[in-house]
Structure 1
Amino acid sequence: MTASKRLITTLATISVVAACTAPTSSTSSPEITTAPPTIAEEDFDSFVEESFRTIVERQPELVTELGLDKAYGTRPARLDDLSPAYLDETAGVIARTLAGLEAYSFAELSDDQQLTYLSYQWHLEQMVDAHRYRLHDWPVHFLLNSYNQGVILLLTLIHPLNSSSDADDFLKRLEALPEQVNQVVSWMEDSEIAGVLPPRYVVEITIQQLRGDIAAGDAASTELLRSFEARLSQSGLSPDDLDDHVERAGEAIEAHFIPSWRNLIEHLEGLLDSTDDSVSLSRLPDGDGYYAHLLALHTSTELTAVEIHQMGQTEAERIKAEMRALATAAGLPATEINAIRAAFADLGGLVDGDAIVSTYEELIEDAEERFSPYFDLIPDIPLEVRVDDGPTAFYVGPAVDGSRPGVFYAATGRGAVRGHTMASLAYHEAIPGHHFQISLAQELDIPSPRRYLTSTGHVEGWALYAERLAEEIGVYEGNPAGSFGRLDFELLRAARLVVDTGIHHLGWSRSEALEQMTEIMEGDHFNHEVDRYVLYPAQATAYLVGMNEILRLRDLAGAVVTDLDSMARFHRAVIGQGNIPLGVLGETIPTAAG
């Protein structure tokens, strides 16, 4: 999973599409001195770069996340403006950019420019559609793509703290937080008027989470201040300067962050009597249209909810058959899936403490050697493995300016990691998955939209393909537990297709969704998974849909695992041209991988 358990773009990696889907822009709204360049003013390449920068600069948090503050001559000191007027203005900029792009003669562009045109066009169209459904996107909740967790991520992981100036910018962002939270409260009020309300249980859990963020109500008890001090202490400041900045940060947290979070809590408490536990988007005005938009956004295909639902059912049966065959080959009874799962989990054991990071580092080092013959483009950006106490592993991409490496956060929510799952997670999140793909895009000399704009189907489909590729090239030989761990993850991705579409297309309740998850997985404890589908609709469908599309394109390109040259050409076509939506990629593969 890219970005984080707190802010997925999106998952992502971090993309303008994610930023516009969960509407974002900038608290002190900058004066717009230039409109996007027009065809009359710019050649195609200049138009693409200038128009992209115009859009991104309207979102200062995104500029920081991408590591572009230095390149753009800005300081990371502002928050995004979430006022309706500013968001409408941004949508107008995007619509004019799309019109400007489409004014170019496609036939007169080079092959590479045509690839940029199609990719940029797809993203701009998705942004335009996303703005139409802005009020459907409830901003405050307890999972991945929420506004509140995005703020925590920005301040604890993304905002640089390498100097006294960075610390001052941190304080400026805290000072801007009350205004931004007021905008978010207004956003929720507008959504409520439009008939969009979150499920009651979501409101209840979110209130508890927000209370946890402010802890005892003083700065010293917050993770925000602890993180600030720990990160700034690595900057080389003198002890006196460090103490001064920590004291000022504590004052700002108590003056701005804690009251802002109490503002959110107060608003959510006022909703408890007016909402129920309905979870399906189909209950909302034009909910079906919104879900169709999200499926197109995340899968970047034209598959319908019905087709995706059926794909999940078919794939689940295939995967279970492979699980039973693996159990038989390992000398285990091919009985119920949960019994097979328990047997392989016991075989893989538990990994805890410092061994979690060291084990992942060893797996990644081995992956660099094992996968390299299948690629002719290898990124150089460093990767770090860190632990996170949440339930979900995630990856945060590097900053373009080199100030932040790519980081794989290993989940330790239960205090230990099941050994049989670690290899697949390493391949998915690190090499040759997210880190490999996202870092490579940053290093390539390609237009900015293909470097920074990501589509979930391409990113998550590639990461799941990385897990499958490990099996195909024999990485799991001698490790049947690891091979089962891969299949178990793939079964989860199949279940997601069924349950996500079941909730939002078929109108299932949360309890019905949990029953279906339990039936497909032949296991239990899937509350977190189902809540993810409720709060991040369609995103989880991108993994298996994306992998299957990449495998289809591999067959189309004639690449076979035993032919290293054909595999390297295919992989270059898929990730060596930057971030390309799957629908666009399908139009280029025969030429690029031939």
Structure 2
Amino acid sequence: MYSSLPRLLLLLGLFGFFACSEPESTIIPDSEINGWFDAKYEEFLQMSPLQMTTQGRKDRYGEIDDMSEAAEDQRLAWMESSVAELKEKFAYDKLSPEAKVSYELWEYQYEMEKGDVEFRRMNYVFNQMGGIHTQLPNMLINYHKVDSAADMNALISRYTEVGRAIDQLLERAKLQTEGGVRPPKFAYEYVIQQSNALISGRPFSDGPADAPLWTDAQAKIDKLEKEGKITNAEAEEFRTKAKEALVNSFKPSYQELIAWLEAELPNLEEKPTGVSRHERGAALYAHRLKASTTTGLSAEEIHEIGLNEVARIQQEMLGIKDKVGFEGDLKAFFKFVNSDPQFFFPNTDDGRQAYLDESTAFLDTIKKKLPDYFGILPKADLVVKRVEAFREQPGAPQHYSQGTPDGSRPGTYYVHLSDMSAMPKSTMEGVAYHEGNPGHHMQISIAQELETVPKFRTQIGFNAYIEGWALYSEILAKEMGGYKNPYYDFGRLVNEIWRAIRLVVDTGLHSKGWTEADAIKYFSENSSIAPGAIQAEVRRYMVIPGQATGYKIGMLKIQELRKLAETELGDQFDLKSFHDTVLGSGALPLDILEKEVKRWIAEVKESGQ
């Protein structure tokens, strides 16, 4: 925790009589401090045109964020000033319990941002996992909504702005390289491939196919014309301007990026270990673990938790193996479910559509059961889509992209389907629950729709909470009647052991000197995950250290808190109320979540309900 709470607790212990005897009128109304938070959050949002677009707003619609270190320093200085103002204006001990959470969260964000800035030249600027080079085009295609001629002008402006942003990021990558920090060779190989895909085809080069951004631009212009919002002549003018911006600004920045990356390839390691190979690598990894798990757990502690969880889950796997009558040991069963044709869709367009359709069907079924397990329900819709071709990777993990707070853009569960041999049917059901309902879509949508907390809390995210909830949701779905097929229940355990293995492998790579081969070997020996998916996973951990540890640590904490509530409350325990307590305050660091659940337990006991 990064607030002044410990010091205040000491003071309250010394002067408890006076604190207790203060009249209730001295408590600061939530509306007062929430108004301050909302005003400050609006200042913060105005620094990020992209964040406003993500939330469905059109402020600074033709701009892209300043990606420079100078802009980062400005933002940190602003955050420092805001924390000082918060402490000056509002006495923590005169706040309501809910307002105290907001106070702590505001401080927590600042403290973590300080750490991020300290290590900013050690985080790989360009990598294959959602790097800015693919995120920006994805934003323009999927988030920049065009409803008018002004919106189209803004989109064209952003094509030019992307060029500027990529140039800024390239300068940062060069600074990182000068400091001796380079990613594994495969990272740049993927980035080169992804970048080439963005500038291949019309209007960048001759050929039968259109580039992704050009396809999107034409579709948006055609839609405006069809709706009668622009004339045919205006449509032609937009096409000309869009083409010019893409060819004259967007393309050169990506060409320069590709050229630099290609020149760097001979300097990169083919078989690197994790970030421990860099100077200050251990300190960076400790910071990343703290940020990802929101705990003080060390790499060694996380490694041991992972080993224990792998052993426990394998015992459950043996139970299902025996239930389906498979003769052979667990490794033989892994091989069976990992290779038998019955567990895979065809590697065809029909097979890909079948994966999307069946995932949608699972989500439609579970949605009907949500009211039995939750009092708070999401209003936003959910769709299941294949990842766009320019950023699709064989075996890469599925992911969720949030909708807008007002529901104008639904939440999206994205699936990589270029290689159907890496997408087994057995794990499909559990992943759908993880990414959709009751997982990411439900949690993030509920957070965005909260009306009783400051707005920043509807958008804030903590890896361990968000991913921990989604992993908890996979097993919760079994309570809700999911996994009727025992092989799909085995797939649920495959998903869970996958997250437990992450604790072992991530810490192995970044604190124990493991190589990519070491990590793949451990993964292969302890799971039935497809080889392509294993390699993609390990390479993910290597470029974003620590992130993968949040899932299991978060899940274990939520399960621990549920068990605590069940034990403490006995017959008074209500699962719907527990879930509403966990989801009803938005995303939280795990220590603050624990305080909130314990506060709820005390309130239930006191009420006698």
TM-score under structure 1 length normalisation? 0.87
Q: Does 1:500 align with 2:506?
A: yes
SS in 2 for 1:183: helix
Which residue number in structure 2 is paired with residue 408 of structure 1?
Answer: 413
> Which residues in structure 2 correspond to 1:61-100 (within 5 Å)?
61-69=50-58, 74-100=59-85
Asked whether the equivalents of residues 338 and 522 of structure 1 are also in contact (C-alpha less than 8 Å), the reply is no
d(CA) in 2 for partners of 1:362, 1:541: 30
> Taking every aligned residue pair, what percent have the same amino acid on both sides?
29
Structure 1 stretches lacking a partner, 5+ long: 1-38
Which residue number in structure 1 is paired with residue 132 of structure 2?
Answer: 147
For residue 406 of structure 1, what is the amino acid of its counterpart? G
Which residue number in structure 2 is paired with residue 469 of structure 1?
Answer: 476
For residue 210 of structure 1, what is the amino acid of its counterpart? S
Deviates more, 1:188-197 or 1:453-462: 188-197
1:302 aligned to 283, 287, 296, which one?
296
Asked whether the equivalents of residues 293 and 550 of structure 2 are also in contact (C-alpha less than 8 Å), the reply is yes
Which residue number in structure 1 is paired with residue 3 of structure 2?
Answer: none
Q: Does 1:486 align with 2:473?
A: no
Q: Does 1:204 align with 2:189?
A: yes
Asked whether the equivalents of residues 464 and 590 of structure 2 are also in contact (C-alpha less than 8 Å), the reply is yes
> Which residues in structure 2 correspond to 1:396-435 (within 5 Å)?
396-415=401-420, 417-435=423-441
**Cα-to-partner distance string for 1:223-255 (whole Å, 9 max, x where unaligned):** 121133335544554582545433432222111
Gap change, CA 1:165 and 1:554, over 3 Å in 2 = same
Deviates more, 1:207-216 or 1:240-249: 240-249
**Cα-to-partner distance string for 1:23-56 (whole Å, 9 max, x where unaligned):** xxxxxxxxxxxxxxxx9xx942222112222222
Deviation, structure 1 residue 270: 2.7
Q: Rg: which structure is higher?
A: 2
Q: Does 1:590 align with 2:589?
A: no
Deviation, structure 1 residue 458: 0.7
1:111 aligned to 97, 111, 119, which one?
97
Asked whether the equivalents of residues 214 and 221 of structure 1 are also in contact (C-alpha less than 8 Å), the reply is no
Deviation, structure 1 residue 520: 2.5
2:110 aligned to 124, 135, 142, which one?
124
Which residue number in structure 2 is paired with residue 572 of structure 1?
Answer: 580
Deviation, structure 1 residue 177: 2.5
Asked whether the equivalents of residues 438 and 477 of structure 2 are also in contact (C-alpha less than 8 Å), the reply is no
Q: Does 1:163 align with 2:152?
A: no
TM-score under structure 2 length normalisation? 0.85
Gap change, CA 1:516 and 1:129, over 3 Å in 2 = same
Q: Does 1:316 align with 2:310?
A: yes
Structure with greater contact order relative to length (CA < 8 Å, sep ≥ 6): 1
SS in 2 for 1:221: coil
Q: Does 1:172 align with 2:157?
A: yes
Which residue number in structure 1 is paired with residue 361 of structure 2?
Answer: 362
Asked whether the equivalents of residues 336 and 522 of structure 1 are also in contact (C-alpha less than 8 Å), the reply is no
Between the two proteins, the alignment pairs up a number of residues equal to: 548
**Cα-to-partner distance string for 1:141-196 (whole Å, 9 max, x where unaligned):** 2222x121211221221222233222111111112233222211211122122221
2:467 aligned to 444, 448, 460, which one?
460
d(CA) in 2 for partners of 1:176, 1:52: 24
1:447 aligned to 454, 457, 460, which one?
454
**Cα-to-partner distance string for 1:271-295 (whole Å, 9 max, x where unaligned):** 2343324342112221111111111
Deviation, structure 1 residue 475: 2.2
**Cα-to-partner distance string for 1:348-392 (whole Å, 9 max, x where unaligned):** 553724333332222111101223211111111111222225333
Gap change, CA 1:321 and 1:334, over 3 Å in 2 = farther
> Which residues in structure 2 correspond to 1:277-292 (within 5 Å)?
277=270, 278-292=272-286
Deviation, structure 1 residue 561: 13
Deviation, structure 1 residue 101: 2.8
Q: Does 1:337 align with 2:326?
A: no
Deviates more, 1:568-577 or 1:405-414: 405-414
SS in 2 for 1:386: strand
SS in 2 for 1:229: helix
d(CA) in 2 for partners of 1:339, 1:562: 40
Deviation, structure 1 residue 512: 2.1
Which residue number in structure 2 is paired with residue 274 of structure 1?
Answer: 267
Which residue number in structure 1 is paired with residue 35 of structure 2?
Answer: 46
SS in 1 for 2:265: coil
Deviates more, 1:344-353 or 1:127-136: 344-353
Which residue number in structure 1 is paired with residue 252 of structure 2?
Answer: 259
SS in 1 for 2:384: strand
Gap change, CA 1:396 and 1:560, over 3 Å in 2 = farther
SS in 1 for 2:267: coil
**Cα-to-partner distance string for 1:531-584 (whole Å, 9 max, x where unaligned):** 100111111111111100100111122279998961111101111111222121
d(CA) in 2 for partners of 1:552, 1:252: 54
Structure 2 stretches lacking a partner, 5+ long: 1-27, 605-609
For residue 364 of structure 1, what is the amino acid of its counterpart? L
Which residue number in structure 1 is paired with residue 9 of structure 2?
Answer: none
Deviates more, 1:250-259 or 1:382-391: 382-391
d(CA) in 1 for partners of 2:296, 2:278: 23
Asked whether the equivalents of residues 496 and 540 of structure 1 are also in contact (C-alpha less than 8 Å), the reply is yes
Asked whether the equivalents of residues 378 and 436 of structure 1 are also in contact (C-alpha less than 8 Å), the reply is yes
d(CA) in 2 for partners of 1:201, 1:572: 43
Gap change, CA 1:91 and 1:246, over 3 Å in 2 = same
SS in 2 for 1:392: coil
Q: Does 1:228 align with 2:225?
A: no
Q: Does 1:557 align with 2:565?
A: yes
For residue 319 of structure 1, what is the amino acid of its counterpart? I
Gap change, CA 1:63 and 1:563, over 3 Å in 2 = farther
Deviation, structure 1 residue 308: 0.8
Asked whether the equivalents of residues 162 and 232 of structure 1 are also in contact (C-alpha less than 8 Å), the reply is no
Deviation, structure 1 residue 208: 2.6
Q: Does 1:385 align with 2:417?
A: no
CA RMSD of aligned residues (A): 2.5
Q: Does 1:530 align with 2:519?
A: no
Q: Does 1:544 align with 2:538?
A: no
